[in-house]
Chain A
Amino acid sequence: MAFLEMRHIRKTFGSTVANDDVSLSVERGEIHALLGENGAGKSTLMNILYGMYPADSGEILLNGRQLHLAGTKDAIANGIGMVHQHFMLIPEQTVIENVILGNRGNPFVLNLKEQARRFTELAAKYGMEVDPWCRVDQLSVGQQQRLEILKALYKNAEILILDEPTAVLTPQEVQGLFRMMRQLTDSGCTILFITHKLPEIMDVCTRCTILRQGRTVCSMPILPGADQHELAVRMVGQEVELALHKQAAHPGEEVLRVTGLHCARSDGVEAVRGVDFSVRSGEIVGICGVDGNGQSELIRCITGLLRPSAGEISICGTDCSGAGVKRILRQGVSHIPEDRLKMAVVKEMDLCENMILMHYDQEPVCRHGFLSWRAARLQGEKICRTYQVRMSSLTQAVQELSGGNQQKLVVGRELAQDPKLLIAVHPSRGLDIGATKYIQNSIIAARDRGAAVLMVSTELEEVMELSDRILVMFNGCIMADIRQADATREKLGALMAGIKGGQTCGS
């Protein structure tokens, strides 16, 4: 009898089947990976286990006893804790206030000191010191994640669900997390680990269950030296093309040059501090770094969304520092923004209306202020065909497409403009393997057609595979400019953490 069993779980949302007969069995003390592409039903399954929503049918057994979870409270009472991909913390409150959130104690008196003492003891036991009186927004992302784990442990969690915990961490922080996970299982915890990154599973997990399209594909132990490729095939369900079709770059003339760029965030903190680099046509320059080290502000400056406080940006030899978005786009710049739903599409509008978003005021779509929907439709059909956007019709609202198809639409729309300079921020964030490879190959194809590509990504693999040159950003500065051939994970990881030649940089 397994420690935790989920049997024949089925869950539908409207007419979409998220889980269709999923079974999962987990032994006490193991790190069990839940592997699957986007939309395979991993998060749905775990949300059911955490009591977030009820299953349509199926049963959950803990120690052979059937569980009825009416809400997260029941799950917590049964020792199940979950760390969500997006942290559920209140940044303006202190650590301890966040920890006790939702705890039932004395209904009239709040004894924070006593709680803080107990919390510190617990944290010390696992070697994860966090100051209980510190405000959460002063913690680093890694510390916040630690806090989320401690929060669950404080509520006596024995089964810990981690939903893509590594997405926001540096490689070093990932190693720290893995150490922590091993320590937790040593002291009796059971961990369910959601991911779609194969190397991580090889690193830390003892067993894994693979889901595909809402069904369990298989459950297998992870032995040292197991075959990643086999896991990938089982996850995707067909032979996957993992390779990129990339030949050596033939850089041409300089398209983008950034000199001495400084810029401040809206709260006055300087986010970019003196950045110099250039991108030539026919090459891909990747910027890597942990989220929030100034990449976003740098890109906003180049695309005209943010006014730099000092420095110069020139595109194709024209000075564009402080120019408006439209003037910059007119220079032949295409922009795949960092946040798809927020910046790149209007999700209530239909595909056709979204197709013209970045060039709605240019011929042939717009003549004398009037829009030609016929021209827009022609363009839209072509883009959908070329970039394999799966849709039922152009009058469909964009929000009805899957995330991968939305991103293909955005990438297709931008590449169809045949840009001189392509700025791609997290071009494959949140996409499954198939879509990711497709988009990466499209970007390489654009490079081979002579575009200069500036790419930002937090995924080391993506940057290392795709870029011809890699810039590492830390704390608003560029730490290094490395050729693809010279880049290693360790080197980049150290630079991303601000360590250069054995010394820590930055403030």
Chain B
Amino acid sequence: MKRICAKASGFFTAAVSILLACVITGILMYGMGYNPLDAYYQLFFGAVVGLSALSESVVKMVPLVFTGLSFAIAKRSGLVNLGATGQLYIGALCTTVVGVYVTGLPAALHIPLALAAGCAGGAAYGAVVGFLKNRFQANELITTIMLNEIATELVNCLVDGPMKDLDALTKFPQSKAILDSAVLPKILTGTRLHAGFLLALLAVALYGVFMKRTKWGYELRVVGMNPSAARTAGMSVQRTQLLAMLLAGGFAGLAGSIEMLAIQKRLMQSFAGNLGFDGIAVALLGGNQPLGILLSAFLFGMMSNGSNKMQMLSNVPSAVIYLMQGLIILFVVGRYLYSKKLWEGLIPQRKSRREEVRP
């Protein structure tokens, strides 16, 4: 019962945050001279109504699920992984190398190999953070940000140098195209919906099982919530956090990998936009819980998809969506200001007794 209550309270907070963000964004749009109701109508319409709109939202959601999981799993172990961007680029890079230069494989081998390369690349890049933290007590906030720079610049250099596609007509800095045998298949004809969606669902399920049902997930959670209790119970905080960073990097690497194999098909400069940092927002809104991440990734995918339609039909600049996403995060982070009182007001018979009672 308590469990269910806690879960419901998480959804409640998320819903209130979204609602408040919508209201405030609406007021701002009104102030700028737009019709917010029309904008929201177009946004919603463009994101979910019709097969192509809906499938496009799901396509946008897929990488966010992975970067969300990346932030969440590190967070559960007590680390703040701001490095999903870097891990994603390294993942995409490794995948591209396998997808372009390894030839002669059937798809059944080439796709898994390319995905595994991306996952491993991201994981290794994430492990660097864990290593630096364990060995030199380097703060992961700083190392992850710095490693982001290194990874993106590395990709920039490579696609304008050794990996540059010289055969193409344009001299655009980009790699050769991924071979057909490595391209992720579509799963719905007439749309861009690809097998990466299934992988995302699988990843979320694995994440849930891992956290709740395995001893490593248990270790990870204990380390994240109370490291000194973890030590007393004989867990190694360092090793556990290293594992968390490996997995976090792996998830982010897969995000890049799948983007490459299903959507972009060529490595190019700053192809990932904001995917890395949006993952933080997804994880925060989803409360680091599997179902929460899935839903909030869908919401963010929907918003980014619908915003184009909104811009076209209501003239509202799509940047408004970033504003709204920012507000959502502000309200989620600042939930302690309002959520408890509101929630308790809704369920008066089950007041939480979290308040400290001094003896």
A residues sitting closer than 8 Å to B (CB atoms) are 13-16, 18, 38-40, 42-44, 47, 303-305, 324-326, 328-329, 335, 337, 339, 342-350, 353, 356-358, 360-361, 366, 369-371, 373, 393, 395-397, 399-400, 403, 430
Contact = CB atoms under 8 A, between A and B. Distances in A.
A341 to B, nearest CB: 8
B353 A14 contact: yes
| Nearest 6 CB-CB pairings of A with B | A326-B234, A325-B234, A38-B359, A343-B232, A346-B226, A14-B355
A44 B232 contact: no
Contacts of B231: 305, 325, 343
A13 B355 contact: yes
B211 to A, nearest CB: 11
A39 B228 contact: no
Given A16-B353, A343-B232, A395-B2, A47 B215 contact: no
Given A39-B357, A347-B226, A369-B215, A329 B2 contact: no
B213 A348 contact: no
A164 B352 CA distance: 29
25 contacts: A13-B356, A18-B357, A38-B359, A39-B357, A43-B359, A44-B357, A47-B358, A303-B232, A304-B234, A324-B234, A325-B234, A329-B234, A335-B232, A337-B232, A342-B229, A344-B232, A345-B226, A346-B226, A350-B2, A353-B218, A360-B218, A370-B214, A371-B215, A396-B2, A430-B359
Interface string B197-235: 000000000000000011110110110011011011110
B1 interface: yes
B13 to A, nearest CB: 16
Contact of A397 (B2, B221, B351, B355): B2
B3 A395 contact: yes
Interface string B340-359: 00000000000111111111
A41 to B, nearest CB: 8
Nearest to A15: B351
Contacts of A350: 2-3
Interface in B66-85: none
Contacts, number: 102
A369 B222 contact: no
B75 to A, nearest CB: 14
Contact of B228 (A16, A343, A357, A366): A343
B349 to A, nearest CB: 10
Interface of B: 1-3, 213-216, 218-219, 221-222, 225-226, 228-229, 231-234, 351-359
Contacts of A18: 357-358
A343 B229 contact: yes
Contacts of A393: 1-2
A194 B213 CA distance: 47
Contacts of A348: 225
B356 A357 contact: no
A470 B143 CA distance: 51
B229 A346 contact: yes
B232 A325 contact: yes
A60 B232 CA distance: 47
A70 to B, nearest CB: 19
Contacts of A395: 1-3
Contacts of B357: 13, 16, 18, 39, 44
B354 A399 contact: yes
Contact of B221 (A305, A326, A349): A349
Given A348-B225, A369-B215, 7 more contacts: A14-B355, A15-B351, A324-B234, A325-B232, A344-B232, A395-B3, A399-B354
B359 A357 contact: no
Contacts of B221: 346, 349
A403 B225 contact: no
A403 B229 CA distance: 17
Nearest to B348: A15
Contacts of B229: 342-346, 357
Contacts of B232: 303, 305, 325, 335, 337, 343-344, 358
B305 to A, nearest CB: 36
A399 B192 CA distance: 48
Contacts of B218: 353, 356, 360, 371
B233 A357 contact: yes
B351 A349 contact: no
B353 A400 contact: yes
B53 to A, nearest CB: 40
Contact of A357 (B214, B216, B222, B358): B222
Nearest to B356: A13
Contacts of B215: 360-361, 366, 369-371
B359 A403 contact: yes
Contacts of A366: 215
Contacts of B222: 346, 349, 357
B359 A15 contact: no
Nearest to A399: B354
Contacts of B352: 14
Contacts of A371: 213-215, 218
Contacts of A342: 226, 228-229
A350 B226 CA distance: 14
A358 to B, nearest CB: 5
B359 A42 contact: yes
A194 B2 CA distance: 36
Nearest to A47: B358
B171 to A, nearest CB: 52
A370 B213 contact: yes
Contacts of B353: 14-16, 400
Nearest to A340: B229
Contacts of A14: 351-355
